[in-house]
Amino acid sequence: MMYSLLAVGSNAALVTFLLYTLAVFALAWLANKALAGKSFMSEYFLGSRNLGVWAFALTFAATSASGGTFTGFPAKIYTHGWVLALWIASYMVVPICTMGLIGKRVNQMARRAGAITVPDLLRDRFGSRTFGLLATVLIVYFMAFNLSVQFKSGSVILQTLLRDVPIFQDTTAALTSFGNAHADSWLVKQLTPQHGPVDWGYQICLILFGVAVIAYTTYGGFRAVVWTDVMQGIVMVAGVLIMLPLALYQVGGLGTATRELAQMTPPQNAILRLQLPENGGSVPKEAWFKSTDEPPRIFWSTHDAVADASSNVVELQCMEVTSPNELARIRDSHEFFSATIQNVELAAAPKFGANEPGHYVTAPGPSQTSESGFLPFGIAISFFFMWALSGTGQPQYMVRLMAFKDSQTLRRAILTVTFYFGVIYFPLVIIFCCARVLMPGLDHEADSVMPRMAVLLTTNAGHGWLAGLLVAAPFAAVMSTVDSFLLVVSSSLVRDVWQRNIDPDASEKTVKRLSYWTTVVVGGIALIGAVNPPQFLQDIIVYVGSGLAACFLIPVVVTLYWPRANTAGCIAGMLGGFCAHLSMHIWGMFTPGHSFAKPYELFGLSPVLIGLFGSLVATLAVTLMTRPLPDDIIRKYFGKEEPAAKTA
Amino acid sequence: MLWFLCLCWVVPYSVLYGYDRPAPGEEIPLVWGMPSWVFYGVALPWMSASAISIFMCLFVIKDDDLGLSPEEIEAAGNESPNS
């Protein structure tokens, strides 16, 4: 069964995308108008510190809900089942932890320092340019990873959205012909991935997505990012709230879905030797095959394959359906490819849960790659730490905490985000547990489960036009994260590198021009990095989130609350967290069954906990061994005196 | 504190009741259509944590003066130069 947007009618997807993009640009234009008559740096990078409840709450929530929320997270639910409820559980306290723990204090200190960025605040709090620069370098390092991955995510979603739009198909076909004709050219070689030909559809979407995000972020600055985040936050919650009842209705109720999941077993990798009706024939990806056994075995192809011109036999990578209840459903509801199965060679079996029903409804959940299952006990504890605490101190959230207008706004925003996360994350677990029952055979392309589910639900409900809106939800999630990261990086470079270290007396005109160009250049570099992006979206997102937490959480907390904290201790804490966290990933590269993206888990714990522990020990030890800061700095931040005079 | 309370509820409960696969032929207990360990180990604490967070926002967290930033002081000075 194919899930294509063509099924929903003419150019509905393209119209949705164009309307959505127009709305984003309109908001950026309005935001640019708001720049007039205000301090450029403060307005462009911080919205003049006067965000109200809805703007602050939704920009915070939308920045948190990234491409991972609507691509990687649904993929994990689809692949591992109900255990994802435990994996994401600590989001129940994320708003009160990330916003409540440091929100008021960050805002107060940023106002006293006149700080516009996180490194700006750290530099002023300790009177150390070195510390500010170190923070900038780490931010740029981690954000560069994430920007490229998010660009990829946005492009993949856009490609799903536009896949069946005629003008998109024609352009892709024309570029494919061009690529084939110029296969030896430098450009085509650069665009060619390690395995397989250039995906021109992806490249078109990357440029469309990248140019749109870079343009509105550059033109409108922080306020444009916040206003578009508000719109995107509403789109996301609307998407989830529409999908939930549709999924529950179409699956026959949540109880039915869970009972079906309880009987399922993970699919088995296999290689089929197929005899096709004619020589040189081809087999598409996601085709279904039935053996002649009784009862028949069922497979689906995970890759395309083409037979030689002189042969009608082809070897094909597949997955075999192993659950009896799924076999019965697929036999009755799917069309099968016309080919004869000559031989079945079973490849690597799932390492945890093979041929054992019940793993999709219990922990640790089935796993193709880990013998301990998806979420062993130690990792469950680590994730409870990670989600709740990793956001605290991360620069993209801290910047938002510097921008709300008063403490009443903060209280109401925590309330709003608490409600928002409850409405987004737990329902996503329910929706994509239902997806496993409604759409078998997507284990090899689980990252695309969200848009496919949107199309399936709306088409079955007879409201295909809704698919465009539902697919806009993950698109909005990626956009709202990319724009925030882009601005964090460019603000760090302009404010903390140029203005603080190279040209402190730069005129507002120079700073303005520099800010625009830096945003364009940083976005352009990330776009180029996404031309051949890494494969594992969610793994990179986890690496960046946990790495930023390991580097920033402890130094930021002591910066805000511990008068004895000093420069040497915080630098040691930042570097200690960075090295401890990175060492687990490097260790993974040299350990069988692990890799950089699948790090070593010392004592069964996630690298974020090792990094936080390293950061804590280094901060405390070095702080206590070195001198405290001068009294005037302590009085400025922990006394009752008025804010300092303008420093820049 | 709230985070720690949730940790003490969610993780031990889920470890005790969520990591046991039902025996062949045995039905998994459900509450509101979800596995009972998910309901009591995740959904219920999620609802409780949200209620406590909302209570804290409404009645516990105090409003404070956040102070003025340099640009706000400058703007105020420009508006009322004699003050």
What ipTM does this complex have?
0.88
Stretch A236-261: mean pLDDT: 92
A452 vs A641, more confident: A452
Residues in A touching B45 (Cβ below 8 Å)? 89, 92
Q: How far apart are CA A335 and CA A239, in angstroms?
A: 30
Query: Does A63 have pLDDT greater than 70?
Result: yes
Give the tokens for residue A477: 């999630």
The predicted-structure confidence for A561-581, as pLDDT tens digits, reads as follows: 999 999 999 999 999 999 999
Q: Locate tokens 């605040």: which residue?
A: A121
Please state the separation of Cα A211 from the chain's center in Å. Answer: 19
Q: How far apart are CA A226 and CA B30, in angstroms?
A: 41
Give the tokens for residue A569: 């201790």
CB A576 within 8 A of CB A614: yes
pLDDT value at position A70?
A: 79
Q: How far apart are CA A368 and CA A362, in angstroms?
A: 16
Query: Does A66 have pLDDT greater than 80?
Result: no
Q: Which is it for strands B30-31 and B34-35: parallel, antiparallel or unpaired?
A: antiparallel
> Residue type at A35?
L
Query: Does A1 have pLDDT greater than 50?
Result: no
Stretch A310-314: mean pLDDT: 84
Cβ–Cβ below 8 Å for B49 and A430: no
pLDDT value at position A13?
A: 64
Query: Does A72 have pLDDT greater than 90?
Result: no
CB A289 within 8 A of CB A272: yes
Cβ–Cβ below 8 Å for A377 and B73: no
Give the tokens for residue A629: 């800061």
Nearest CB partner across the interface for B54, out of A361, A381, A418: A418
Does the CB of B74 have a partner CB in chain A at under 8 Å? yes
Query: Does A299 have pLDDT greater than 70?
Result: yes
Cβ–Cβ below 8 Å for B20 and A85: no
Distance from CA of A416 to the nearest CA of B (A): 9
Cβ–Cβ below 8 Å for B68 and A108: no
Query: Does A617 have pLDDT greater than 90?
Result: yes
Q: How far apart are CA A467 and CA A8, in angstroms?
A: 7
Q: Comparing C-alpha atoms, which of B9, B43, B60 is closest to residue A96?
A: B60
Stretch A463-486: mean pLDDT: 76
pLDDT value at position A432?
A: 95
Interface of A with B in 250-269 (CB under 8 A): 253-259, 262
Cβ–Cβ below 8 Å for A89 and B46: yes
Does the CB of A606 have a partner CB in chain B at under 8 Å? no
Query: Does A120 have pLDDT greater than 80?
Result: yes
- How confident is the prediction for chain A on average, in pLDDT? 83
Sheet holding A288-290, edge to edge: A288-290, A298-301, A313-320, A268-275, A340-346
Stretch A418-440: mean pLDDT: 92
Interface of A with B in 349-368 (CB under 8 A): 356-359, 361-364
Give the tokens for residue A479: 């956009």
pLDDT value at position A648?
A: 34
Does the CB of A50 have a partner CB in chain B at under 8 Å? no
Distance from CA of B45 to the nearest CA of A (A): 8
Cβ–Cβ below 8 Å for B34 and A644: no
Stretch A51-59: mean pLDDT: 83
pLDDT value at position A6?
A: 38
pLDDT value at position B78?
A: 62
Cβ–Cβ below 8 Å for A647 and B11: no
Q: What's the sign of the alpha-carbon dihedral A481, A485, A488, A491?
A: negative
A418 vs A448, more confident: A418
Question: pLDDT category, A412, cuts 50, 70, 90?
Answer: very high
Planar angle of CA A415, A416, A421, nearest 5 degrees? 105
Cβ–Cβ below 8 Å for B15 and A406: no
Give the containing element (helix H, strand E) for A317: strand A313-320
pLDDT value at position A592?
A: 80
Nearest CB partner across the interface for A363, out of B3, B19, B57: B19
Q: How far apart are CA A607 and CA A618, in angstroms?
A: 16
A193 vs A487, more confident: A487
Does the CB of B21 have a partner CB in chain A at under 8 Å? yes
Does the CB of B8 have a partner CB in chain A at under 8 Å? no
CB A380 within 8 A of CB B14: yes
Alpha-helix runs per DSSP H in A492-536: 508-529
Question: pLDDT category, B38, cuts 50, 70, 90?
Answer: very high
Planar angle of CA A316, A319, A321, nearest 5 degrees? 135
Give the tokens for residue A583: 């060492």
Query: Does A647 have pLDDT greater than 50?
Result: no
Question: pLDDT category, A326, cuts 50, 70, 90?
Answer: confident
Query: Does A362 have pLDDT greater than 50?
Result: yes
The predicted-structure confidence for A195-240, as pLDDT tens digits, reads as follows: 566 788 888 988 988 888 888 888 877 777 788 778 878 888 888 8
Query: Does A589 have pLDDT greater than 80?
Result: yes
Q: Comparing C-alpha atoms, which of A165, A156, A239, A202 is closest to residue A12?
A: A165
Q: Give backbone dihedrals phi and psi of A601, rounded to 5 degrees, phi first.
A: -110, 90
Q: Locate tokens 């020589």: which residue?
A: A279
Q: Locate tokens 């309880």: which residue?
A: A262
pLDDT value at position A615?
A: 95
Nearest CB partner across the interface for B50, out of A39, A82, A92: A92
CB A58 within 8 A of CB A409: no
Q: Comparing C-alpha atoms, which of A48, A60, A56, A57 is closest to residue A114?
A: A48
Question: pLDDT category, A4, cuts 50, 70, 90?
Answer: very low
Poorest-pLDDT segment among A37-51, A279-293, A607-621, B30-44: A37-51
Does the CB of A643 have a partner CB in chain B at under 8 Å? yes
Does the CB of B24 have a partner CB in chain A at under 8 Å? yes
Q: Is A320 helix (H, G, I), strand (E, B) or coil?
A: strand
Planar angle of CA A583, A587, A589, nearest 5 degrees? 125
Alpha-helix runs per DSSP H in A439-507: 449-460, 466-491
Cβ–Cβ below 8 Å for A362 and B45: no
Q: Locate tokens 């984003």: which residue?
A: A24
Stretch A157-162: mean pLDDT: 78
Nearest CB partner across the interface for A254, out of B22, B34, B63: B34
Stretch B11-22: mean pLDDT: 88
Rg (CA), chain A: 26
Cβ–Cβ below 8 Å for A114 and B70: yes
Does the CB of A86 have a partner CB in chain B at under 8 Å? yes
Q: Which is it for strands A340-346 and B34-35: parallel, antiparallel or unpaired?
A: unpaired
Pairs from A328-336 (Cβ < 8 Å, separation ≥ 24): A329/A440, A330/A288, A330/A298, A330/A440, A330/A441, A331/A290, A331/A296, A331/A298, A333/A1, A334/A1, A334/A288, A335/A1, A335/A288, A336/A288, A336/A289, A336/A290
Q: Comparing C-alpha atoms, which of A516, A487, A514, A485 is closest to residue A498?
A: A514
Q: How far apart are CA A525 and CA A528, in angstroms?
A: 5
